[in-house]
Structure 1
Amino acid sequence: MLRLTLFDGEVPLVFNSVPLVLVPGLLCDERLWAHQKGALQHSTQVFIPDVSIDSSIAQMAKRALDEAPPTFALAALSMGGYVAMEIMRLAPERVTKLALFDTMVRPDDDARAQARQGLLALAELGRFKGVTPQLLPKLMHSRCIGTAVADTVKAMADAIGKEGFVRQQKAIIERPDYRPMLEAIAVPTLIVVGENDEITPIVESEEIHRGIPHSRLVVLSECGHLPPLEHPELITQLLSEWLAEEQEL
C-alpha cells in the first residue's frame, strides 16, 4: 500500500494509444473528471459516459460499452466502480486496465440499505435537496469546504436532479455482490482511496486490493470521497503513470 500527500510538480505527458473511459459516481457528471480529461485528452481519447439516464447498474454498463471503443482502459469512482465491475463481468476482454476510486464491491449492509431507502423515499416525496452544506463534510476533506470544489459538487448534483438521483439510488440498492469476481480480474489494477473517506472507508479498498491479484493500492492523505476533484493534479499523474505502465500480468 502506498500513501501519497499533496501533489507538487508537473503532470508528465504520456502518449497512450488505448482510449480511456472515466465513469462518474452518484450525483456526478463529466465535471468530476474535468482536470483528468483536460490533461489526458492530448495523449489519448477520453470518454465519459452519462450514468444518470438508467435505473440499473447493468443498463449503465451496457450504455457505456455501446459508446466506448472496442478496447479501453477503465477508471471509475464510487457508484461508477459498480458500473466498472459490471463492465468487467459483461465484457472483460474489452478492458485493458482498471482503476477503482473510493468504491466497494460488497452489497450494502442493513444500515446502509435502510439509509438509501430513506433518501429514496424523501426524494420521491419531493424533498430532494441535492448536496447540502451539511453533506459536504462527508464527501470531501475539510480543506475543500468553501472552495470551487464544493461549488462543483453542488452544481453536479443540481444538474443530475431528483429524477436522476432516484434512478441512481435504485440502481445502487439493487446491485449484485461483485466480490466473487475479484480473483478473476487479470488486468493491471490501480485502487485509490481518500484517507478521510467517510462514504467508502479504506477497509473497502483494502478488500478489493486483497481480492484482485497484483493490484496496487494508493491511499491519499487529506482526501475524502472525491479524489479527482480534491487532488486533481495528483489523480491525473496517477492515471498518466497507470496508462503508461506495461502489462506485466
Structure 2
Amino acid sequence: MKKEALVLLPGTLCDERLWEHQLEHLTDVSDPSVSMLTEEDTIEGMAESVLKHAPERFALAGLSLGGIVAMEVIRRAPERVTRLALLDSNPHGPKQEQLEGWKDLISKVESGEFQSIVEEKLLPNLIHPSRQEERDLVSTIRDMAEKIGPEVYVQQLRAVSTRSDLREVLREINVPTLLLVGRDDQVCPLSLHEEMQESISESRLVVVNHCGHLSSLEQPEEVTAALRNWLME
C-alpha cells in the first residue's frame, strides 16, 4: 500500500535536522520529506513554494515558523492537505512590539551581530532551561543557525512580519489536526495551543513535559510518537 506523503516544515534558523528523529522513525507509516523555508521573505511566498514542490495530496506538519506557513498552506489549498500538525506555533498576527523587535533584530544582524543574537537572545529562549548545557543539542542548534546564516534569517524575520492573523482559518479546518507544544515553551506558549484547540473541530492537543520551543529536537521520541498516532488516525 502506498504510504501517505508527509511534508515537514522547519522553524526559523532550522534545517532538516530539526526533524531528524521523525525522518528516521516515521518511514514505516509515511513518506516524509522536509520543505525548507529559505527562499522567500513573505509567509504567502513560503506557502506557495511549499505547494509548488509538494505532492498533490499530503499530510503537513510545521514547527514555529513552519506552523505559521502550514496554516497559510491550508488556507490556500485545503483540498490538498490530508491532515495537519502544528507544533509550537502561533495563529495570531504580529503585535506592534513584535514588529519593532524584529526590525531591531534585522538592524543588528545587518550590523554583524548575528552570532551574538544566536547565543544571547535565541538559545536561552528556544530550549528548556534544564537542556541549556546539553552539548549535542546546543551544538545542533548552533550548527543549524550557522548553516542557514544571517541573510536567510533576515528573510525569515521579514516573512513573520508579513504574517496574517490566521485564527479565522482555523475554524475552517476539517482534517485530523495535531496541536503539540512544549509545556515550557516561552515563544509560543501552551495558551495559544489551547486557543487553537477550541477553534479546530478535529484537533487533539499534546503537551510535552520538560520541553521548550524546539520540541522535535528536545523530546524527539515523544514528538515522533504523537506524530505517529496522528498519521494513523
Bin the TM-score by the shorter chain.
Answer: over 0.9
| Unaligned stretches of 5+ residues in structure 2 | none
- What CA RMSD, in Å, does the superposition of the two structures yield over aligned residues? 1.5
CA distance in 2, matches of 1:194, 1:44: 24
| Unaligned stretches of 5+ residues in structure 1 | 1-14
Out of 120, 124, 137, the residue aligned to residue 137 of structure 1 is 124
Give 1:133 deviation, angstroms: 5.3
Q: TM-score, normalization: structure 1?
A: 0.89
Out of 85, 92, 98, the residue aligned to residue 99 of structure 1 is 85
Aligned AA (1:232) = P
Kindly report which structure 2 residues correspond to 1:46-61, keeping only aligned pairs within 5 A, or say none.
46-61=32-47
Question: Could you list the runs of 4 or more consecutive aligned residues of structure 1 that deviate by over 3 angstroms after TM superposition?
Answer: none
Kindly report which structure 2 residues correspond to 1:189-228, keeping only aligned pairs within 5 A, or say none.
189-228=177-216
**CA-to-aligned-CA distance 1:13-57 (integer Å, 9 cap, x gap):** xx8721101100011110000010011124421110110121111
Out of 233, 238, 243, the residue aligned to residue 226 of structure 2 is 238
Identity of aligned residues (%): 42
| Length, aligned pairs only | 231
Give 1:235 deviation, angstroms: 0.7
Report the more deviating stretch, 78-87 or 129-138. 129-138
Match of 1:146 in 2: 133
Out of 85, 94, 101, the residue aligned to residue 115 of structure 1 is 101
CA distance in 2, matches of 1:199, 1:152: 19
| Pair 1:152–1:183, CA change in 2 (3 A) | same
Q: TM-score, normalization: structure 2?
A: 0.95
Aligned AA (2:39) = I
CA distance in 2, matches of 1:124, 1:207: 36
Conserved? CA contact 1:16–1:243, under 8 Å: no
Give 1:218 deviation, angstroms: 1.2
Aligned AA (1:136) = L
CA distance in 2, matches of 1:228, 1:16: 26
Match of 1:4 in 2: none
Report the more deviating stretch, 116-125 or 76-85. 116-125
